[in-house]
Amino acid sequence: MEKKLEDYVRTIPDFPKKGIMFRDITTVLKDPDGFKMAIDDMLSALQGLEFDAIAGAESRGFIFASPLAYELNKPLILIRKARKLPADTVSATYDLEYGSATIEMHKDSIKPGDRVVLVDDLIATGGTVKAAASLVEKLGGTVVKMLFVMELAGLDARKNLPEYDIHSSIIYPGK
């Protein structure tokens, strides 16, 4: 029987706290077939789409955005945690379960009119990717697609991001 991408994801119950089903992406990465399957699925989601750059969110988004940018010969833009980038940046702060976080992008990474694909490993509530999209938009770019390996549909990220085209390789119904 042929394996599906979700067969490569390890699920760890009650991590980091009771009631959470943690979806571990490291088991996809350590298996060449699983990693190739994830990248190939994302590549197929980009077929026929016109865009100028791929942006990956720190840190696991870098892992998936990099081979896409390489394969498609597109610039790779890094979206990092605050104070990690050396040149002038734009920043966005978003809420976490307990507190907030800030992400940044170099001001010169997007030109007005650029069409950008955002990539991360997981979409849960959508807070990180919404903040990432706001960075692209602050610089005059347009987010034309959001790509994720996994989506936790029970956290309703799509309801918070109705204006974006979202593709998830795996959709888990719960949280």
60 included as an active-site residue? yes
97 included as an active-site residue? yes
Q: Which amino acid makes up residue 158?
A: R
Residue 86 · residue 113 · CB < 8 Å: no
Question: Which listed residue (2, 50, 97, 163) is catalytic?
Answer: 97
Distance between CA atoms of 36 and 144, rounded to whole angstroms? 23
Q: Label the pairing between strands 76-81 and 53-57.
A: parallel
Query: Measured between alpha carbons, how far is residue 11 from residues 26, 28, 101 in Å?
Result: 11, 11, 26
What are the phi and psi torsion angles at 36 (to 5°)?
-60, -40
To which residue do tokens 């109705």 refer? 162
Question: Which listed residue (2, 23, 50, 60) is catalytic?
Answer: 60
Q: Which amino acid makes up residue 97?
A: E
Distance between CA atoms of 89 and 108, rounded to whole angstroms? 8
Residues that are catalytic: 60, 97
